[in-house]
Structure 1
């Protein structure tokens, strides 16, 4: 979903920038030929000579845009989630378990616990030395109902839910981090 949204936004942004560049080139294109500058010295002096800060502000704004674009690009290249896990089947062969399937299974089982209103799960991996992925790690966010006891929800999550996940993934240990929130509720009106 995020990849599709990113592609659509990039396409729209690219078309807008292309149209803006074409409009600027046709509006400011000198009639003297292709070797003439876009803004002649007379034009620059006429419009922006009195404000010497103008060019520095434009350059600073463009620099900020470039830094933000590079930051966004690096954020897109970083993959915080594991796509798949390799599971040893015990007979010398291996199976591939999709990370999304494990996330959905854990979320469904944890969401069915007593007192849990909503659950979201993300499967990630710690970065090991030399950039290799280390042990997989679950990040579980539970939204508890107002009457729920957090200690009971944590015990149920740490016990059966994570044991099922470890067993199905064939992992001796599966690190997990749980975050709890309480659902806000409004008092009922009595008439």
Structure 2
């Protein structure tokens, strides 16, 4: 949804900028000004001295200009964060083997993988997020380990167990996985 909105907004902004820039360029090169254009001729400036200094002495002018620019900057930053933010995969497309496809909810696959990984020895908590594309998902796994567990053993067990089960049960040729291991910190015990 956000991708479509992003494309539409970029298209509209692009068309407006091309129309205005093309008009300025055409008029600057000697073409007649369109009827909707603000100025008449080639030697006309976009903002003359009177237009640039018209509101300068008004008390409300600069706060309004600063507020509008601040809102535009915040909207641009929001848009940038929305575009760069990694998305969760809503569904995974599975080849059923009979030239048909089935879709599996991404949250269901995340939950199944997290639940199975959470039952591994030494894993106190597991969190899974699927990213990527519908046909080629990627997994990000966070395992919270008991302090007494060897991280390499936990990683091997995760790879050979839950990740292999999910990949084979979903019929995925590969499931690239980024795994983060953290150790659960227990408060120190007082010895008397």
Normalised by the length of structure 2, the TM-score is 0.61
Q: Tell me which residue corresponds to 2:72.
A: 66
Q: Tell me which residue corresponds to 2:146.
A: 145
Q: Tell me which residue corresponds to 1:186.
A: 187
User: Residues of 2 paired with 1:181 and 1:65: CA distance?
Assistant: 40
Matches within 5 A, 1:92-107: 92-107=99-114
Larger radius of gyration: 2
Indicate the SS of the match to 2:187. Answer: coil
Render the CA deviation track for 1:23-52: whole Å, top value 9, x for unaligned: xxxxxxxxxxxxxxxxxx7x93xx58xxxx
Indicate the SS of the match to 1:124. Answer: strand
Q: Tell me which residue corresponds to 1:80.
A: 87
Matches within 5 A, 1:147-166: 147-166=148-167
- Deviating above 6 A after TM superposition, structure 1's stretches of 4 or more consecutive aligned residues are none
Indicate the SS of the match to 1:85. Answer: strand
User: Residues of 2 paired with 1:90 and 1:103: CA distance?
Assistant: 23
Matches within 5 A, 1:108-127: 108-125=115-132
Indicate the SS of the match to 1:187. Answer: coil
Normalised by the length of structure 1, the TM-score is 0.61
Number of residue pairs matched by the alignment? 138
Alignment root-mean-square deviation, CA: 3.0
- Once the two structures are overlaid, the 10-residue window that deviates more, 144-153 or 74-83, is 74-83
Q: Given the superposition, is the C-alpha separation of residues 68 and 108 from structure 1 closer, same or farther in structure 2, using an over 3 Å criterion?
A: same
> Tell me, which stretches of 5 or more residues in structure 2 are unaligned?
1-54
Q: Quote the offset at 1:58 in angstroms.
A: 6.0
